A and B are shown apart, each in its own frame.
Chain A
Amino acid sequence: MTDEPTVFVVDDDPSVRRSVVRLLESAGLRVEGFDSGEAFLEHRRRTGPACVVLDVRMSGMSGLELQRRLSATGRPMAIVFITGHGDVPMSVAAMKGGAVDFLLKPFDDEALLAAIDRAIGRDRAWLLEQQELAVLRVGYDRLTPREQQVFALVAAGLLNKQVAAQLGTSEKTIKVHRARVMAKMEALSLADLVRHAERLQITARHPDWRA
């Protein structure tokens, strides 16, 4: 994994595409241009931090559609929308879809570069998050089924004796499980453990909810 970011420029207007690619290159960025959303999706991309400068209106797949498709993949990407004429519903849809910015053509190079900067930053953060999550998953996979149960119940806010009652064992046994969970999940505190559970999207049913 290289740390050098890549900017993908997707615009069906060749002159716009060429000028934007040229501008970003002149700013020292690594740039790849695509004339359609379809071409972009088919492209095998490198794994490093990246963002997309995306035209909203394109023949074929529109920018908004590409945004939806990307977020459905395992590699959502920070998007900077560019458009010749934007209206409120269009920009709302774009931002709701997680766009970093929505720039009206013609845009200033500084504005575009700043947006790209933010987008790359966001992508870096996302990548870091994915890395941390991968570590957590490795730890979680090392837990025994019993430890996973204890993890879920503790993260749900139950006291040791409540967990013990829930699982039909002694409070002392729970304490042992809990310590192993903390160690395997590399949690320094209960708060840390709860955060890990949230990121792993681990939930446990509260006993009161049991039917």
Chain B
Amino acid sequence: MTGPEDVEHDVFSPPAPSGPAARAVGFKRLLEATQIVQWEADAQTRDFTYVGSQAERLLGYPLARWLEPAFWKTHLHPDDLDRVLRFREEALREREAYEFEYRMIAAGGNSVWFHDVVAVQRLDGVAAVIRGFLIDVSKRKRAEATARASEARVRQLIEQAPDAIVAARANGQVAFVNHQAEHLFGYQPGALVGEQLEQVLSGPRVKEYLEEPGLALGAPSVTMTEGTVPATARRADGRTFPVAVNFGRLETDEGLVVVTTVRDVSHQIEAEQALRQSEERFRIAATLGADIIAEADISTGGVVWFGNVDEAMGFARGEFPRTLDGLRDRGHPDDRGRVRRAMSRSVFEQGGVVSFECRLRSKEGLYRHWTVRAVPRSDSDDLSKTFVAVCSDVTEQIVARAEALQHRDALAHVARVSSLGELTGAVAHELNQPLAAILSNAQAAVRLLDRDAPDVRQVREVLHDIVADDRRASAIIQRLREMMRGESSSRETIDLGAVVQEVREIMRSGLSMRGIAVLSEFASDLPPVVADRIQIQQVVVNLVTNAMQAMDELPEASLTFRVFERDDGWQVVTVDDTGPGISPTMLATMFNPFNTSREGGLGMGLSISRSIVEAHGGEMQAEPLATGGATVGFALPPSP
């Protein structure tokens, strides 16, 4: 083995100012000034016989180490070893010159990339000496590696992006896409790559971007446009839809790539349109006065009105209070506590919709009824300070409701009167009985007195009867007057049994005229109930009238009044008949208004009865009897 100096001297002749020797010395110095290492090795042992002095600097090993046997082989990067050795053996057999790149492990443990340019000198066709230059290319290799890693990162980033991304080369050809893009445009995986970007995206800015690829930057990077631009996307099936796109430039080792981020905005546009329409509808509704919207700020006390609240309350534009204090002043004093409680409930029970009714004084001083549904603004912070309230003026409805109640009373009165109309015969008969007795008695008395020897005792007896019958007539008229009176409900403590008995007495002649036998089963010692006596009597009259009509023309008819107490303490009044009973269809509708099985009937009787009974907190009941006929009645809850 020879030292490097010897090799150096063997290879390069002593320097000379000109001529081949001097040129060799000049090149040697040039080489030594660069990072290029010249070397010579035995082609058979593959060991270095000469290495340029720069080698020391490149790997950190002294030159003597380079010349140790198998230095090169043992200092190759393990990952490159097989590839490099295989390549060199092959090249030594077949080539005069070759170059390849590999890593060597430096003294510091780091690896250094070399580009090795080799010339083979042969003796009798067999490689004898190889010489070459080692060039440190680590910097370039690192840059390449960085570039590759960057592109992979970008691809990964693109794949993970929530938006669809299409990357195209400067010529408009799609380089790569993420699966969101494939999904958005309706392409099979990979089908979009190689297509023209304009096939899926069109718009003025798209073309602009492709035609102005911009500056290529030194390092791979992505620069994005500021903001998005609208464009039209076209799916594989030809359908188009609106999108918003962002353009970016990605510098890769393959050249400039235009990265296009595509967002489907059709839903957004629809939503915006819907919102605009909804706002428009809301504005129209508010203008029409259907509802008034208020936004109240609890902390400042300010109220913003949407909708024509001024007109609704009789004020000139802008005059109705715009503060909570102002509203409080216009509110009904009786409502203030309730409204305050409702609002504070909403504050402390987060997010709850609160609704209440209140009365607000209009310009002319009349209270108008409002229903208010308020909700804390969802976009405000923990302690809601802002409420949005929908306010409806329900004055008309409330007036209508009151009128309906009055109307119901009037209806009940009409039904009462018409029932009495139906009962005129019975009542007239009832009244004419005592009148007939009075007249006959009086005329008999006259005759008795006309006799020669009047029997005074007998005449006194007659007069007593006259007085009794007169009282009886008067009592009938009194009862009649009470039933005819269209007065509103007045509750009192009543004995249900006694009330039913009175009705029975009134109806007795009507029933007997129709040949209907009257039976009674009254429980004794029932506690009193609180009810409107006349209304309850009206219900019983209706029940009897119905039973009577059900048994019209029947040879064997009987009617049973029952008053008893149910297990739960409710008191029940029923009227049982021996009529044809109740069919299931009838059972379902018999308490509805204008439902009548009778020609010329109004069909209000049982409906009114139900209204009355329900107004008493009671319930109507009806069922067919096993023995034929029906039992219809009502139950009233016990007095509190």
Contact = CB atoms under 8 A, between A and B. Distances in A.
Contacts of B431: 84
Contacts of B513: 56-57, 62
A113 to B, nearest CB: 10
B426 interface: yes
B362 interface: no
Contacts of B512: 12, 57-60, 62
A84 B444 contact: no
B428 A106 contact: no
Contact of A59 (B424, B438, B518): B518
Nearest to B515: A62
Contacts of A59: 508, 511-512, 517-518
B447 interface: yes
Interface stretch (A21-29, A139-147, A150-158): A21-29
A85 B514 CA distance: 13
A111 to B, nearest CB: 11
A104 B432 contact: yes
B447 A107 contact: no
Given A12-B512, A84-B509, A19 B440 contact: yes
Contacts of B518: 59
A85 B443 contact: no
A20 B424 CA distance: 24
B441 interface: yes
B445 to A, nearest CB: 8
B447 A27 contact: yes
Nearest to A15: B437
A198 interface: no
Interface string A36-52: 00000000000000000
B444 A83 contact: no
Nearest to B511: A59
Contact of A84 (B428, B440, B472): B428
A105 B473 CA distance: 13
A60 B508 CA distance: 12
Contacts of A75: none
Interface string A71-97: 000000000001111010000000000
A108 interface: yes
B429 A85 contact: yes
A144 B431 CA distance: 63
A18 interface: yes
Nearest to B513: A57
Residue of B429, B508, B517 with highest tally of chain A CB at under 10 A: B429
Contact of B432 (A18, A84, A109): A84
Centre residue among B429, B436, B445 by max chain A CB count within 10 A:
B436
A70 interface: no
A9 to B, nearest CB: 10
A131 B29 CA distance: 185
Interface in A1-36: 12-13, 15-16, 18-20, 22-23, 25-27
Contacts of A62: 512-513, 515
A14 to B, nearest CB: 9
Nearest to A103: B436
Contacts of A13: 433, 437
A56 B517 CA distance: 16
Nearest to B436: A105
B428 A15 contact: no
Contacts of A85: 424-426, 428-429, 432
A83 B508 CA distance: 15
A106 B429 CA distance: 10
Contacts of B426: 85
B355 to A, nearest CB: 58
Given A57-B509, A57-B512, A85-B429, A106 B439 contact: yes
B295 interface: no
Nearest to A61: B515
A84 B441 contact: no
A18 B444 CA distance: 11
Contacts of B468: 15
Given A22-B440, A60-B512, A105 B447 contact: no
Contacts of A56: 513
Contacts of A20: 436-437, 440
Interface in B446-470: 447-448, 462, 465, 468-469
Given A57-B512, A57-B513, A59-B517, A15 B433 contact: yes
Interface string B386-430: 000000000000000000000000000000000000001110111
A20 to B, nearest CB: 5
Interface of A: 12-13, 15-16, 18-20, 22-23, 25-27, 56-60, 62, 65, 82-85, 87, 104-109, 112
21 contacts: A13-B433, A16-B440, A18-B465, A19-B438, A19-B444, A22-B440, A22-B462, A23-B444, A26-B444, A57-B509, A57-B513, A82-B436, A84-B428, A84-B429, A85-B425, A105-B432, A106-B432, A106-B437, A107-B439, A108-B443, A109-B443
Given A22-B440, A84-B432, 5 more contacts: A15-B437, A16-B440, A20-B436, A85-B432, A107-B440
The 8 closest A-B pairs by CB, nearest first: A84-B429, A105-B436, A26-B447, A59-B512, A84-B432, A19-B440, A57-B513, A109-B443
